[in-house]
Amino acid sequence: MPELVLYLSIAAAAITSLAMFWLSPQCRQARLGVLLVMAWVFGVYFVWRLGQTVLWGGFSFAALYTQFFVLVELLWLAEMVHDCHFYTYASRPLVQGISRALRQSSIDVVIASYNEPRDILEKTLLCALHLDWSAPIKIYVIDDGKRQWLAELCYKLGINYLSRPDNLNAKAGNINHALDYLHGDFALLLDADFLVAPFAIEKLIAPMVDAQVAVVQSPHDFYNPDPIQRSLGLESLSPTDQIHFFNDTLRMRDNGGAAFFCGSSGLIRLKALKEISGFPTDSITEDIFVSLKLKSQGYLSVTIKEAVATGLNPQSINDFFAQRKRWGEGAIQMNSCIWGSTQSWLRNLGVINRLQFFPVYWLISYPVRLISLLVPQACLLLGWQPLVNAPINQLLAAQGGVLILILAFNQWISRSHSQLLLSQIWHDVLALRLTFYFLFRLIKPNDKLVFSVTPKGSDAVHLAEASASSAAAQNPNTATPPRYFDVLVLSLLILTFACLALGVVNLNDAQSTAQSGVYAVSLFWALINFARIWFVYASLRREKAVRLEELQAPVRIMSDLWIDGLPANAVGEFQVSESSLSSTNENQVIAHRDLALLHNGTQRHIGRTNDQGKILFHTLKCRGLWLSRLTVASLEVGLERLNGGYKSAQAVAQTIKASFT
């Protein structure tokens, strides 16, 4: 390939990246223009790679290695094409108003539970009781744990309690058993740890004016940082992988008709759900599968922009791994069903529909990411060259254009919900831990899988304490991840450092060889890998002890809160939580204060603070009203952070500081 073409590709990449500052990712024409340039730059790169840098036809180790590595890059390209094709669709217009007929729709609120503790479930039920809707609402707790205390709590609160004689097919079976008791027009499904806002139905029901819409999914919001955020002190500085998924990826999938139900905070048309005989039981990710089955019958799953409930992230690294392992193996299991099953409903799904639900993230992204963490070091340590006949100027021009465009496009399309190196921590730690497991599942996708519920609340605390005790943990402020994985990451970190040192020592000798460009670029990527692995190790090493989590919000958000007869903002700066008021000023007195909330235009007294600022609620209903208003405030805080963007520079500084502490 003429070098001029490579230089033109990197110039086009640079100009397009600058143009993104003035282009809106919400504009379809802008997205198509950027994707067109990306297609040309990627095309130039792969024509150069396939035509010049691979030893085709050879069977030596060196030749097979170059062929293997270009195959890995082609898999990465397939993932890029799969993901980027969703950005070619026009944005689906959001329905704003609610028709008079929809306002007469009855709602069944379904809260699925198995083994969640009382401290979690009681909050969920109290918030559900404060849902605002003009038509009838019935709340159902469907309990696969068959707990007497939960049945008594439901009776006390006037909530319907259902259980079944067995636990067949886990959550899907639990919901399907309840379908015989649900007679509303729509069902609002909530996980047991999700606190729902009063306006949830109002926000979710508008798209249901279209009779083809069977599922309306809202983004998930979480009121506690996930374990990686806590480890590195990134609670308000860096978004988790879930933020990017729900606010960018899922929304773009919606434009392509491939959005799906995510297990909680979604409204489902009961007529459509009963028409397909309930949730599929062929996969432990029944939430995605139900959207696919509904799609086969002509129904749509759509999303809305605003979160309507807030829940709990996994509270330990172990729970984080277990949750993502379940998601991944369920997606692989579902993929096996849609390509290998002979069920009649699958005949209505075209190849494009099936490919849209192919688990590229679990089966392609993880292996490619793991290989990318190893190949540069192999080049420096063992001399394994991933490509040949690559002069430094051509290599920099070819790879540079691709790299510039990928980084710019990710930042542009995610609207700062993704942060260059930091956002990779979540994906890297999971790739290191789960890649081989998922590849095994690809070989045996139909092995018996167990639906494991992620521990939350006091259960998560007790589990972590038991784990720390059995591991003889010495530091009460940290928790120890699985030792073999900790050692694996540390070993890889040391190996990468050794490869870097060796690479620097041998750099002058390498400059005299024909492969000097490959060696120098491998040294650069090994340095990047060292930073990536360092951050992964820091997130494991600095894991914090699991604690009980509470909703929190600054008092400025609680505009309807009154303290001693005055608006809360006039009293002082407070941090408000589920159980207390804490002052931001050490001299501010927060004890013995009367608390009231504006409710239907009047002040409703809900409780009083004691000597320590703890809230003593007058009744359980008063606590429910407080939790409901605090849920709204917590969602507003999350929305502020989302719209205001995350602080990338501060996040990088904090991550570096934390990793050296």
Which CATH number belongs to the domain containing residue 160 in this structure? Answer: 3.90.550.10
Residue 95 in any domain: the answer is no
Residue 489 in any domain: the answer is yes
Final residue before a domain boundary, out of 511, 542, 573 = 542
How far is Cα 329 from Cα 171, in angstroms, rounded to an integer? Answer: 16
HSE (CB half, 13 Å, CA atoms) of 193? 27
Residue 367 in any domain: the answer is yes
Q: Across 146-160, 510-524, 580-594, which has the greatest mean pLDDT? A: 146-160
626 and 531 within one domain: no
215-224 residue pLDDT tens: 999 999 999 9
pLDDT of 340 over the 90 cut:
no
216 and 152 within one domain: yes
How far is Cα 105 from Cα 120, in angstroms, rounded to an integer? Answer: 29
| Lowest-pLDDT range of 301-305, 346-350, 368-372 | 346-350
How far is Cα 516 from Cα 548, in angstroms, rounded to an integer? Answer: 55
Q: Is the CB of residue 406 less than 8 Å from the CB of residue 37? A: no
How far is Cα 518 from Cα 497, in angstroms, rounded to an integer? Answer: 19
Q: Which helix (H) or strand (E) holds 396?
A: helix 392-414
Residue 232 in any domain: the answer is no
* Average pLDDT value for residue range 98-115: 94
Residue 337 in any domain: the answer is no
Beta-bridge partners for 615: 609
Share of the chain above pLDDT 90, in %: 69
* pLDDT band for position 96 (cuts 50, 70, 90): confident
197 and 108 within one domain: yes
391 and 455 within one domain: yes
* Average pLDDT value for residue range 290-319: 94
* Average pLDDT value for residue range 525-531: 96
* pLDDT band for position 443 (cuts 50, 70, 90): confident
623 and 567 within one domain: yes
Beta-bridge partners for 562: 567, 596
Query: Edge to edge, what strands does the sheet with 615-617 contain?
Result: 566-567, 561-563, 594-599, 602-609, 615-617
510 and 416 within one domain: yes
Question: What per-residue confidence (pLDDT) applies to 543?
Answer: 87
* pLDDT band for position 585 (cuts 50, 70, 90): low
174 and 140 within one domain: yes
537 and 553 within one domain: no
* pLDDT band for position 478 (cuts 50, 70, 90): very low
402 and 501 within one domain: yes
* pLDDT band for position 545 (cuts 50, 70, 90): confident
Question: What per-residue confidence (pLDDT) applies to 457?
Answer: 65
Instruction: Give the chain's mean pLDDT.
Output: 90
Distances (CA, A) of 29 to 36, 108, 124, 249, 472: 10, 41, 43, 18, 59
Structural domain including 402 reads 3-88+363-465+480-542
Residue 275 in any domain: the answer is yes
451 and 590 within one domain: no
301 and 267 within one domain: yes
Residue 130 in any domain: the answer is yes
The residues near 313 (Cβ < 8 Å, ≥ 6 apart) are 222, 224, 225, 226, 227, 240, 242, 320
| Lowest-pLDDT range of 207-211, 413-417, 501-505 | 413-417
pLDDT of 480 over the 60 cut:
no
User: Does pTM surpass 0.85?
Assistant: yes
How far is Cα 506 from Cα 523, in angstroms, rounded to an integer? Answer: 10
pLDDT of 476 over the 70 cut:
no
* pLDDT band for position 395 (cuts 50, 70, 90): very high
271 and 153 within one domain: yes
Question: What per-residue confidence (pLDDT) applies to 548?
Answer: 83
The residues near 123 (Cβ < 8 Å, ≥ 6 apart) are 195, 578, 627
Comparing C-alpha atoms, which of 441, 421, 424, 543 is closest to residue 485?
543
Read out DSSP for 617-640?
A: ESSHHHHHHHHHHHHHHHHHHHHH
Question: What per-residue confidence (pLDDT) applies to 653?
Answer: 85
Residue 325 in any domain: the answer is no
pLDDT of 11 over the 90 cut:
yes
The domain tally of the chain equals 3
Question: What per-residue confidence (pLDDT) applies to 239?
Answer: 85
Share of the chain above pLDDT 70, in %: 93
The residues near 630 (Cβ < 8 Å, ≥ 6 apart) are 551, 553, 558, 576, 577, 578
CB atoms within 10 A of CB 158: 8
Q: Is the CB of residue 64 less than 8 Å from the CB of residue 72? A: no
pLDDT of 302 over the 70 cut:
yes
pLDDT of 588 over the 80 cut:
no
